[in-house]
Each structure stands twice: as structure tokens, then as C-alpha cells.
Amino acid sequence: MRTMPRQSMRQSSTAPFTLMHEIHKLEHLQDQLWEEANRALKALQKER
């Protein structure tokens, strides 16, 4: 039976947390873009 080196075990155990953190950051950016798009759309509608 082969064991994983400590470094790769440590990386694989933190990878899901890192991935979740990146997903949360992307979701936050998506929310910001959505808000900016809505503001821009409202501004365009006021100009008409």
C-alpha cells in the first residue's frame, strides 16, 4: 500500500476549502456586476 506524501495530502485536504472560497468570491463579483448592469439599464431608461 502506497501512502501519499505529506505535501500532497495537505494540498488535497485544503483544495475543497480553497475552491469554495474562490466560488464565493466569484458569486460576489457576479452580484456586483448584476447591480452595475441594473444601474446602467435604469440610467438608459431615464434618458429615453
pLDDT digits (tens, 9 = 90+) for 1-48: 566 566 665 566 788 999 999 999 999 999 999 999 999 999 999 998
Closest residue by Cα to residue 29 from 48, 40, 21: 21
Q: What is the pLDDT of residue 48?
A: 82
Amino acid at 43: A
Q: Which residue is it, cell 483544495?
A: 15
pTM for the model stands at 0.61
CA–chain centroid gap for 24, Å, is: 4
